[in-house]
Structure 1
Amino acid sequence: MAAVSLDDARLGAWLDEELGGSEPVATEALEGGGSCEIFSVRRADEHWVLRRAPYKASSSTAHDVLREHRILDAIKDAKVRIPRPIAACEDPTVAGRPFYLMDFVDGVPIRQELPEAYADSPEDQALALTEHIDALAEIHEVDWRACGLGSLGKSEGYLARQVPRWMAQLDGYRCRALPAVDEIAAWLESNLPQEQPPTLCHGDYKLDNLLFSRTRPARALAVVDWEMAAIGDPLVDLAWTLIFCPEQGNALALGAAGQPGGFLVDTLPTAEELVVRYATATGRDVSRLDWYAVFSPWKLAIVLEGSHAKHLRGESKNPIHQFFGAMTDRLLERAGKLIRGEAR
């Protein structure tokens, strides 16, 4: 496994050539970043984040950081909350693998715990959830054609391509029997809704892919982790974030209600209220959200199985990748229950 570090001298030389200046560079590995690696990069008064492709991608299409940079660069002037992209590099001699550089945003993702300033503020906790829906609506309102993202993917027939696309990805790394995957895939194809007009979609939209203000009032400052972005059906994004809704009893919740450091139990907007807020902001028809609610955990199960397969093949020492196997099973169980009407 390659070391999670950077050669400061090599990176500094690249920065000097790309951006000008000659000040020394200091880098530090950061936690988070999803499947990619992220580093703090400081030079004089400037502070950036470097996002580098992982040592081993789970598939040939995953973790394309140069594509991710191109998307951010295309929408940097739109009304959307992102870290400002600075530059990208495909030369592996600079940092070991391709990477891009973006402005540092002093914010906090919501995983197990909320920002400390929100701990005793029901108003700010509710505001954090509505802010995350508002930021999603802004993404879906981007004029992606005017931004030059017409080549990002086929906009027509997006939903019809999803099941074959994700099944093909799974077949590229499947290491164990997962019969529920095939059963759910058949249901999805048989119950395909009429898709929404295409928009820019984030592809992995959830509370821990947003950076929230450290102080009150709660604000969603930036949406990060754009590696799965595409032009497609916006309700896929909406249903995806609802998988992680912090309602009490949701095993996949981020900032789980009632848990230490999590959201307060009785003060949150419900998933249904968040859907209404989104529909009001965008004017979109959400009457067939039931299909998307099945598709999203099924898709997430396939995504996580990619990392779990790396563990099974001995290509990853990350202990969370072993845990992803159980998460895959739980997600497929959830999707099955939704089909059978045993869950909401």
Structure 2
Amino acid sequence: MTRTYKDTIQVREGEELDQAKLHAFLLKHLSEAPAGELEIEQFGAGHSNLTYLLRIGDWEAVLRRPPHGPVAPKAHDMKREYTFLTSLSPVYQTAPKPYLYSDDETIVGSPFFMMERRKGIVLDSEFPKYVNYTPKMGRQISRLMVDKLVELHQVDYTKTGIMQLVKPDGFMHRQVEGWINRYERFKTDDIQGVVKLIRYLAENIPVSQKPTIIHYDYKLNNAMFSEDFRQVTGLFDWEMSTVGDPLADVGVAMSYWIQKDDDDLLKKGLGKPSVTVMDGFFTRDEFIEDYANKSGRDLSAINFYLTFAYFKLAVIGQQIYYRYKNGQTHDPRFAHFNSLVKNMVHQALRSIERK
């Protein structure tokens, strides 16, 4: 069967780039960019930063910029993500190599950075139609996701420039306090149970484990796989990455990891359920056990981290919905994000009692 996998879409209306200005900038500042017609496509996944594929002949690169409209303080920091990747990519080959950063907002309307283009398959709600899926493939992909997370947490951040960007001490306390404050700042609706949830998070912060580099948005559709699904060829969206408690990273990963027996509120929170509901993929418990065995870490407090991760997702959805409700974005995908926020608060409350 002919393979037709494509990971880009036509640029969405309202998110276009000035092709002439960008082309001139590339020719002046990026020596690798050849002469010729510039083509621009967009990576359609994700609800935060905007990511574009740039192509001139056979040459390709990726451009990332913040979303349109006002953004939360310290969010969507292109310079920080660029600097983080500059230090990380030489010691963690799965991270893409960045090319340049620019704060000249006349080019694309905001600060932006460019990085190398990786090739492979990104999985979300379905496999490419030409893939003959088997449960063995699902377990293979699951193990790869665990392996890459363990590998990231083994990188010695003290020997990289990342040291200049982070403050590991007091990480979880700052996180809990900061995300609670964000929720209060962007609150729109009264949600049942949120007061109880916030109180639980503030009063039950565990003793943090030895800090490591954390991706902090580790999920299947931020990873790219080889055609045979035996390798991870890229890991993307390093905007939230820092140094902190590695179990916070596991919690975030598990908040995205949907399994077959989850209720529909979780499975369909953002539309179609993830491929991880298919036979063969790890359950969350299997993922956690595999991570514990391979990392040697104690995950007995994982319920707190999963609860906090669901709350974080609720806050991220709340920030997006706040922007939509206040007319700062008109993207119709965000019109029902208030339901997503309620769903994530519900899941957070349930995970407190998870066994």
TM-score after normalising by structure 2: 0.88
The answer as to whether partners of 2:267 and 2:273 remain within 8 angstroms in 1 is: no
3-state secondary structure, aligned to 1:105: coil
Seq. identity, % = 28
The answer as to whether partners of 1:27 and 1:40 remain within 8 angstroms in 2 is: yes
Match of 1:164 in 2: 177
CA distance in 1, matches of 2:47, 2:277: 26
Match of 1:68 in 2: 81
3-state secondary structure, aligned to 2:133: coil
CA distance in 2, matches of 1:91, 1:105: 26
Match of 2:330 in 1: 317
1:93 is aligned to 2:97 = no
Letter of the structure 1 residue corresponding to residue 298 of structure 2: D
**Compared with structure 1, are the counterparts of its residues 199 and 229 closer, same or farther at alpha carbon in structure 2 (3 Å cutoff)?**
same
1:333 is aligned to 2:346 = yes
Offset at residue 123 of structure 1 (A): 1.7
Letter of the structure 1 residue corresponding to residue 22 of structure 2: L
Match of 1:246 in 2: 258
- Structure 2: which 5+ residue stretches go unaligned? 1-11
The answer as to whether partners of 1:76 and 1:84 remain within 8 angstroms in 2 is: yes
Match of 1:228 in 2: 240
Letter of the structure 1 residue corresponding to residue 200 of structure 2: W
Superimposed CA distance per residue, residues 277-325 of structure 1 (whole angstroms, 9 cap, x where no aligned partner):
2122222111111111211101110111000111111222112212221
Offset at residue 44 of structure 1 (A): 3.6
CA distance in 2, matches of 1:242, 1:68: 23
1:145 is aligned to 2:146 = no
CA distance in 2, matches of 1:198, 1:222: 23
Out of 228, 238, 244, the residue aligned to residue 216 of structure 1 is: 228
CA distance in 2, matches of 1:50, 1:39: 5
Letter of the structure 1 residue corresponding to residue 232 of structure 2: A
1:38-49, aligned counterparts within 5 Å?
38-49=51-62
Letter of the structure 1 residue corresponding to residue 138 of structure 2: Q
Superimposed CA distance per residue, residues 49-102 of structure 1 (whole angstroms, 9 cap, x where no aligned partner):
111111124301111122111111111111341222111111011222111111
- Structure 1: which 5+ residue stretches go unaligned? none
CA distance in 2, matches of 1:271, 1:82: 24
**Compared with structure 1, are the counterparts of its residues 327 and 5 closer, same or farther at alpha carbon in structure 2 (3 Å cutoff)?**
same
Out of 128, 137, 141, the residue aligned to residue 141 of structure 2 is: 128
**Compared with structure 1, are the counterparts of its residues 47 and 296 closer, same or farther at alpha carbon in structure 2 (3 Å cutoff)?**
same
Letter of the structure 2 residue corresponding to residue 221 of structure 1: T
CA distance in 2, matches of 1:133, 1:117: 26
**Compared with structure 1, are the counterparts of its residues 98 and 260 closer, same or farther at alpha carbon in structure 2 (3 Å cutoff)?**
closer
1:29 is aligned to 2:39 = no
Offset at residue 261 of structure 1 (A): 8.8
Letter of the structure 1 residue corresponding to residue 255 of structure 2: I
The answer as to whether partners of 2:177 and 2:202 remain within 8 angstroms in 1 is: no
1:297 is aligned to 2:310 = yes
CA distance in 2, matches of 1:164, 1:66: 25
Equivalent residue pairs, number: 338
RMSD between aligned alpha carbons?
Answer: 2.4
CA distance in 1, matches of 2:223, 2:241: 14
The answer as to whether partners of 1:142 and 1:199 remain within 8 angstroms in 2 is: yes
* 318-327 or 109-118: bigger deviation: 109-118
**Compared with structure 1, are the counterparts of its residues 12 and 56 closer, same or farther at alpha carbon in structure 2 (3 Å cutoff)?**
same
* 9-18 or 323-332: bigger deviation: 9-18
Superimposed CA distance per residue, residues 82-126 of structure 1 (whole angstroms, 9 cap, x where no aligned partner):
222111111011222111111112223222113445542222221
**Compared with structure 1, are the counterparts of its residues 176 and 7 closer, same or farther at alpha carbon in structure 2 (3 Å cutoff)?**
same
CA distance in 2, matches of 1:297, 1:173: 17
**Compared with structure 1, are the counterparts of its residues 2 and 58 closer, same or farther at alpha carbon in structure 2 (3 Å cutoff)?**
farther
Offset at residue 195 of structure 1 (A): 0.5
Letter of the structure 1 residue corresponding to residue 166 of structure 2: G
Letter of the structure 1 residue corresponding to residue 234 of structure 2: A
Match of 1:58 in 2: 71
Superimposed CA distance per residue, residues 232-259 of structure 1 (whole angstroms, 9 cap, x where no aligned partner):
11111111111222311324349x9xx8
Match of 2:9 in 1: none
CA distance in 2, matches of 1:4, 1:261: 26
Out of 20, 26, 34, the residue aligned to residue 9 of structure 1 is: 20
CA distance in 2, matches of 1:146, 1:261: 36
The answer as to whether partners of 1:10 and 1:94 remain within 8 angstroms in 2 is: yes
1:307 is aligned to 2:320 = yes
The answer as to whether partners of 2:146 and 2:290 remain within 8 angstroms in 1 is: yes
Letter of the structure 2 residue corresponding to residue 224 of structure 1: F
* 218-227 or 232-241: bigger deviation: 218-227
**Compared with structure 1, are the counterparts of its residues 296 and 13 closer, same or farther at alpha carbon in structure 2 (3 Å cutoff)?**
same
CA distance in 2, matches of 1:225, 1:332: 24
* 271-280 or 199-208: bigger deviation: 271-280
Match of 1:276 in 2: 289
Offset at residue 2 of structure 1 (A): 8.5
